[in-house]
Amino acid sequence: MSGPFDLSGKRALVTGANTGIGQAIAVGLAEAGAHVIAAGRRSCAETVEKANGRAEEMILDLADPVAAAGALPGDLDILVNNAGIIRRADSVDYTEADWDDVMDVNLKAVFLMCQAFGKAAIAAGRGGRIVNIASLLSFQGGIRVPAYTASKHGVAGLTKIFANEWAGQGINVNAVAPGYIATNNTEALRDDPERSKAILDRIPAGRWGDPADIAGAVTFLCTPAANYVTGAVLNVDGGWLAR
């Protein structure tokens, strides 16, 4: 395979790759020709199997951002920061522990992983691609998820500052903001007929997103076809934010 969508010879690492969106991204990158390190705090063996020999697994717990960044391989061409957690409570009841846990995984780890990737790529003079997984709550406030909302606003900001600083070094940094995707995280919403209907009524595409929808967007941003795309936050939401 060759051409603007070919990732043959590239090495990529995807965090949170054991299931859902992360798994789909890892498989999508592998299908485009990359060798993928599927990283997660639990085994990514299923992802490796689905990648048909173009992947390996790595246990990586983003709850300890410093250790995770320190374990990042130094020879990567692509980094996808997908791992994230969410804790729900009314803002007046939200605990400091929940705030710290969410911010460590969703924002501090993203910063440190990008920093480690950037240092290695700049030192080697090879350039690279970073794609951060943002959210609709990078643009909206949400309800009962203050730390998640703050962290995803932060992910959009980090994406832009790294893009500004590293574009001249050949490192493109972008983000993808998923809409409502059919994963384990949204199972409760999909199982609630009233809530599901309210969500679908707002989505012009009229359906829940599939993890493969996110994988396609991420893969595009990692290919030569996106050479002049950096600092973007790409909404993949079936038109939700346009409504």
**In this structure, what token pair is assigned to residue 109?**
């780890």
Which parts of the chain are beta strand (E)?
Answer: 11-15, 35-40, 55-59, 78-81, 128-133, 171-178, 233-236
**Active site residue: 94, 148, 180, 228, which one?**
148
> Which residues lie below 8 Å from residue 187, measured CB to CB, with a gap of 6+?
none
- Burial label, 96 (beta-carbon count in 10 A; 0-12, 13-18, 19+): exposed
Contact by Cβ (8 Å): 78, 55: no
Rounded to whole angstroms, the Cα distance separating 242 from 55 reads: 36
Going from the C-alpha of 177 to that of each of 28, 131, 170, the distances in angstroms are 17, 10, 23
228 included as an active-site residue: no
**In this structure, what token pair is assigned to residue 35?**
């060798």
Question: In three state form, how does the secondary structure of 197-216 look?
Answer: HHHHHHCCCCCCECHHHHHH
Q: What angle do CA 61, 66, 70 make, to 5 degrees?
A: 85
**In this structure, what token pair is assigned to residue 22?**
């992360």
Active site residues per annotation = 148
